């Protein structure tokens, strides 16, 4: 087994567990065609699209989560998730985001101004290290899915991280060690 | 029906259950593959039984497929589940009982790219076990765990083979380094290994092919540790980096790094796997017959002589039972499965199970303890231009330094670290970096190549009371009684783990890394996938199961050539030693066979 990878994923703990259970589609169907099933309502999809872009926005270095179609991937994951609770978590979580928005602005999240949306997400993120309230917990879930989706796209891997590996090398790269 | 045509795979002789083979090998991993290679090369007619199916890993692994080319970004189908550390801790085996999932796998399927190895590792629902907590990782397919192994290929030294002489604990092995050295050399040259000579008495060098290189931070660590008389060396990988002229099934390594992104595996077979390294070449001799989907359920003995006469096996697809006959039986089903099969093979001449007159089968079970580890930040790499850091089979190895010349007051034996630095395809720091937005995104990008981490592997002492036996009630999918664990880490392991935490910090501080995380938790027993010692070798037939040639003290035509024969675990990864020992023993076996002594 690869021990470094093993260690890294132990460290990532929860995220790795999420990744293992958040797959899409019937096995055969999935192997022959991209997943097309959906779960989110159009309103929910727009909200997740917006939230994902707030977490990983387009900047002068690379396109963000919207361009990488992160929301659509999360949608397909949830449509085919084995556990109903994964879908419930998101439906309830997005309602909570709207509620937080209404509490402070009297508007839904999508009706709120960009600054007001940032205030809502900031409030959700404030206990990221030690989540207690439902909105804290949903922020962890939201961010983990967005991160896992974005950094596995061609935009995330090639344009943002500028990953240089997964290629055939004639010689190994790095520093020689002499005997 | 006594003739079974094998439909899948390379052309191979039909299995003829009317004939008596020279030898039957049970298991096709590192040990079984080696046994098949050595005996067929000496002209013996060998039947190899493998419990799983043949998987074409050249097609299955898709080592360079990008995540976005896969509909689930490489993850398993949603109706499959990988056990988590938490589940291993809060539940008791059998872990997959009462699950809703279609299939449940061990924790290795929780890593990235789990879709590519889902057919290699077993479904826990079909293969339950009972007793104490244990993270048991099994691969039932041609080649077994070698299809996804971690590739770190280390030699043991007389600090290991003669551990009792060194510190008084346990038993010495019935061999010393000079007995096995010629066979380590043969394994190196036949299978290929990458590394750098370091001239360390406690970690002997191999005959290395082209080494991999170190990332900048790894070189910093290597240089800073010289003052402490400790070593960081490029990963000694059981990978052919220069190619093997004598093997047409394997390519040389092209540094694609695919082996580090997933459970493992190499679709060009630069990393050793038993099928392409040993079994296919053995088939080319014309002396090897393979029967896959054949789960051995009993080693059959002649009731008059007590000698092994064959193997009873279940076809995993049809559930039908067959018997195959041979003059010699070589068991190589893995440390735990071999013990299970020996204990299941009870007869009037061997009432405690074949080869178990000592009562030691299943006992003295040992392995490596894992958990403690460290991550550091390399400040001058923050925001530095991206470099290619993971195009290699592994990062670095930091060999044992405890209880060599000095004597630690708190524990005996030692541990080593495996580690690596630099950018990987997926930026793991993205999940740990707090916040969101442009500043968050930039920080993930700037920092992702600036980490170095390592984790320890320590010797678990061989103790009689750590054992497995056969559960009196519970059975697997094929009606075969399951293994029951009675195994726990002890005080020496706990104290050793405390020391790992301290020395990891001391070394990263010395190298000038900012420590950002220290893992202190000891992982569940079994996590290292290095289980050893359930049928140990020895000179005394009352306290050991096998002699120095892995030959049963009780049954002279019965050999057990896998990790179960190891007398102690050492802290070095066992695969290369398993193969060197199996080669040595099968050389002896073939010689004795030809003399008519078996």
Tell me which residues of chain A, numbers 4 to 43, contact chain B at a CB-CB cutoff of 8 Å: 4-13, 15-17, 19-27, 30-31, 33-35
Three-state SS letters, B150-190: CCECCCCCHHHHCHHHHHCCCCCCCCCHHHHHHHHHHHHHH
For residue B466, the model assigns a pLDDT of 98
Query: Considering its fold, how many domains does chain B have in total?
Result: 2
Question: Over chain B, what is the mean pLDDT?
Answer: 96
Domain range holding A100?
A: 41-160
Residue at A70 is within a domain = yes
Q: Is the pLDDT of residue B6 over 90?
A: no
Q: pLDDT class for A36, splitting at 50, 70, 90?
A: low
Task: List, in order, residues 6 or more apart from B540 with CB less than 8 Å away.
Answer: none
Residue at B257 is within a domain = no
Residue at A179 is within a domain = no
What is the predicted ipTM? 0.93
Q: Is the pLDDT of residue A32 over 60?
A: no
- Residue pairs spanning A and B at CB distance below 8 A: 256
| Whether residues B330 and B208 fall in one domain | no
| Whether residues B157 and B13 fall in one domain | yes
CATH code of the domain containing B4: 3.50.50.60
CB within 8 Å: B78 and A24: yes
B237 part of contact set with chain A, CB < 8 Å: no
Domain range holding B431?
A: 198-246+368-459+491-519
Query: Considering its fold, how many domains does chain A have in total?
Result: 1
Q: What is the pLDDT of residues A151-171, one digit of tens each?
A: 999 999 999 999 999 999 999
Tell me which residues of chain A, numbers 60 to 79, contact chain B at a CB-CB cutoff of 8 Å: 61, 64, 73, 77
Residue at B187 is within a domain = yes
A149 part of contact set with chain B, CB < 8 Å: yes
For residue B94, the model assigns a pLDDT of 96
Residue at B318 is within a domain = yes
Distance CA B508, CA B505 (A): 5
* B524 vs A contacts (CB less than 8 Å): none
Tell me which residues of chain B, numbers 43 to 82, contact chain A at a CB-CB cutoff of 8 Å: 64, 66-68, 71-82
| Whether residues B183 and B214 fall in one domain | no
For residue A15, the model assigns a pLDDT of 35
Q: Give me the mean pLDDT over the B195-224 stretch.
A: 97
CB within 8 Å: A179 and B197: yes
Q: What is the pLDDT of residues B476-504, one digit of tens each?
A: 999 999 999 999 999 999 999 999 999 99
* A179 vs B contacts (CB less than 8 Å): 196-199
Q: Is the pLDDT of residue B314 over 60?
A: yes
B520 part of contact set with chain A, CB < 8 Å: no
Residue at B362 is within a domain = no
Residue at B63 is within a domain = no
Q: pLDDT class for B3, splitting at 50, 70, 90?
A: very low
Question: Over chain A, what is the mean pLDDT?
Answer: 85
CATH code of the domain containing B440: 3.30.410
B256 part of contact set with chain A, CB < 8 Å: yes
Tokens of B534: 């359930």
| Whether residues B283 and B328 fall in one domain | yes
Task: List, in order, residues 6 or more apart from B154 with CB less than 8 Å away.
Answer: B203, B236, B397, B572, B573, B576
* A35 vs B contacts (CB less than 8 Å): 71-72
| Whether residues B445 and B417 fall in one domain | yes
Q: How far is CA A110 from the centre of its chain?
A: 19
Q: pLDDT class for A179, splitting at 50, 70, 90?
A: low
> Which residues lie across from B206 on neighbouring strands?
none
Tell me which residues of chain B, numbers 369 to 388, contact chain A at a CB-CB cutoff of 8 Å: 373, 375, 386-388
How would you list the strands of the sheet with B396-398, edge to edge? B233-234, B396-398, B415-421, B451-459, B368-377, B514-519
* A70 vs B contacts (CB less than 8 Å): none
Closest chain B residue to A128, measured at CA = B434
Q: Is the pLDDT of residue B384 over 60?
A: yes
Collapsing DSSP states into helix, strand and coil, what is residue B436?
A: coil
| Whether residues B510 and B538 fall in one domain | no
Cα distance from B552 to chain A (closest Cα, Å)?
30
Residue at B281 is within a domain = yes
Closest chain B residue to A27, measured at CA = B77
For residue B139, the model assigns a pLDDT of 97
| Whether residues B333 and B445 fall in one domain | no
CB within 8 Å: A167 and B432: no
Q: Give me the mean pLDDT over the B297-323 stretch.
A: 96
Cα distance from A106 to chain B (closest Cα, Å)?
24
| Whether residues B414 and B300 fall in one domain | no
Closest chain B residue to A58, measured at CA = B438
Residue at A149 is within a domain = yes
| Whether residues B425 and B541 fall in one domain | no
Cα distance from B342 to chain A (closest Cα, Å)?
27
| Whether residues B501 and B427 fall in one domain | yes
| Whether residues B203 and B330 fall in one domain | no
CB within 8 Å: B388 and A161: no
> Which residues lie across from B271 on neighbouring strands?
B239
Cα distance from B437 to chain A (closest Cα, Å)?
5
Residue at A27 is within a domain = no
| Whether residues B406 and B451 fall in one domain | yes
Residue at B202 is within a domain = yes
B226 part of contact set with chain A, CB < 8 Å: no
Collapsing DSSP states into helix, strand and coil, what is residue B380?
A: helix
Residue at A26 is within a domain = no
Q: pLDDT class for A84, splitting at 50, 70, 90?
A: very high
Mutate to test the interface with B, among A1, A83, A129, A136 (most CBs of B within 10 A): A1
Residue at B123 is within a domain = no
- pTM, 2 dp: 0.93
Q: pLDDT class for A23, splitting at 50, 70, 90?
A: very low
DSSP assignments along B240-290, one per residue: -SS--TT-TT-PPP----GGGTSS---TT--B--HIIIIIHHHHTTT-EEE
Q: Is the pLDDT of residue B173 over 90?
A: yes
Residue at A25 is within a domain = no
Tokens of B194: 């990458």
């Amino acid at each position: 087994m690869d021990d470094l990878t093993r260690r890294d994923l132990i460290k990532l703990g929860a995220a790795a567990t999420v990744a293992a259970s958040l797959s899409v589609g019937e096995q055969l169907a999935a192997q022959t065609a991209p997943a097309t099933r959906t779960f989110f309502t159009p309103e929910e999809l727009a909200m997740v699209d917006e939230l994902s872009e707030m977490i990983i926005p387009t900047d002068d270095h690379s396109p963000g989560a919207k361009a990488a179609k992160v929301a659509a991937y999360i949608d397909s994951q949830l449509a085919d998730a084995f556990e109903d609770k994964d879908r419930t978590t998101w439906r309830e979580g997005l309602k909570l985001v709207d509620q937080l928005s209404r509490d402070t602005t009297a508007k839904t999240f999508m009706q709120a101004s960009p600054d007001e949306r940032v205030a809502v997400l900031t409030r959700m993120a404030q206990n990221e290290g030690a989540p207690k309230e439902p909105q804290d917990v949903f922020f962890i879930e939201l961010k983990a899915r967005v991160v896992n989706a974005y950094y596995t796209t061609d935009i995330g891997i090639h344009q943002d991280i500028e990953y240089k590996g997964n290629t055939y090398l004639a010689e190994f790269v790095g520093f020689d060690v002499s005997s | 029906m006594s003739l079974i045509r094998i439909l899948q795979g390379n052309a191979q002789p039909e299995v003829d259950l009317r004939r008596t083979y020279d030898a039957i090998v049970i298991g096709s991993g590192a040990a079984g593959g080696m046994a098949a290679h050595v005996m067929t090369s000496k002209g013996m007619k060998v039947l190899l039984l493998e419990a799983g199916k043949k998987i074409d890993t050249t097609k299955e692994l898709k080592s360079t497929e990008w995540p976005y080319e896969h509909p689930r970004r490489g993850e398993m189908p949603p109706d499959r589940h990988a056990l988590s550390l938490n589940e291993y801790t809060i539940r008791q085996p059998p872990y997959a009982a009462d699950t809703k999932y279609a299939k449940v796998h061990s924790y290795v399927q929780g890593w990235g790219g789990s879709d590519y190895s889902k057919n290699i590792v077993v479904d826990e629902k079909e293969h339950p076990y009972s007793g104490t907590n244990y993270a048991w990782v099994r691969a039932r397919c041609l080649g077994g765990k070698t299809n996804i192994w971690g590739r770190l290929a280390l030699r043991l030294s007389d600090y290991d083979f003669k551990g009792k002489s060194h510190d008084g604990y346990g038993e010495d092995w019935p061999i010393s380094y000079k007995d096995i050295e010629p066979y380590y050399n043969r394994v190196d040259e036949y299978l290929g290994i990458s590394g750098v000579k370091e001239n360390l008495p406690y970690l002997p060098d191999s005959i290395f092919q082209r080494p991999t290189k170190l990332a900048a931070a790894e070189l910093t660590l290597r240089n800073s540790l010289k003052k402490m008389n400790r070593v960081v060396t490029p990963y000694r990988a059981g990978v052919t980096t220069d190619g093997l002229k004598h093997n047409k099934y394997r390519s040389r390594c092209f540094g694609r790094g695919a082996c580090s992104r997933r459970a493992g595996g190499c679709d060009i077979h630069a990393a050793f796997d038993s099928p392409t390294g040993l079994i296919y070449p053995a088939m080319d001799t014309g002396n090897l017959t393979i029967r896959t989907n054949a789960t051995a359920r009993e080693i059959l003995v002649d009731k008059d002589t007590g000698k092994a006469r064959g193997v009873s096996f279940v076809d995993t697809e049809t559930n039908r039972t067959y018997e195959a006959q041979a003059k010699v039986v070589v068991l190589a089903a893995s440390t735990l499965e071999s013990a299970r099969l020996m204990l299941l093979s009870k007869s009037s001449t061997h009432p405690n199970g074949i080869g178990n007159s000592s009562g030691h089968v299943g006992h003295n079970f040992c392995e490596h303890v894992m958990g403690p580890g460290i991550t550091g930040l390399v400040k001058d790499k923050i925001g530095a231009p991206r470099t290619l850091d993971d195009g290699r089979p592994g990062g670095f190895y930091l060999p044992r330094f405890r209880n060599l010349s000095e004597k630690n007051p708190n524990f005996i034996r030692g541990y080593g670290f495996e580690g690596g630095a630099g950018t990987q395809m997926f930026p793991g720091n993205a999940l740990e970096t707090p916040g969101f937005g442009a500043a968050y995104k930039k920080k993930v990008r700037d920092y992702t190549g600036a980490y170095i981490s390592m984790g320890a592997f320590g010797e678990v002492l061989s103790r009689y009371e750590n054992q497995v036996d056969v559960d009196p009630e519970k059975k697997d999918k094929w009606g075969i009684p399951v293994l029951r664990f009675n195994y726990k880490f002890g005080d020496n392991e706990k104290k050793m783990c405390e020391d790992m935490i301290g020395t990891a910090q001391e070394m990263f501080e010395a190298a000038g890394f900012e420590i950002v995380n220290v893992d202190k938790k000891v992982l569940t027993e079994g996590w290292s996938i290095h289980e050893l010692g359930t049928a140990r070798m020895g000179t005394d037939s009352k306290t050991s199961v096998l002699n120095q040639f892995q030959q049963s003290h009780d049954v002279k035509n019965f050999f057990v050539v896998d990790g179960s024969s190891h007398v102690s675990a050492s802290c070095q990864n066992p695969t290369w030693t398993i193969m060197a020992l199996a080669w040595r023993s099968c050389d002896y076996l073939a010689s004795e066979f030809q003399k008519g002594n078996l």
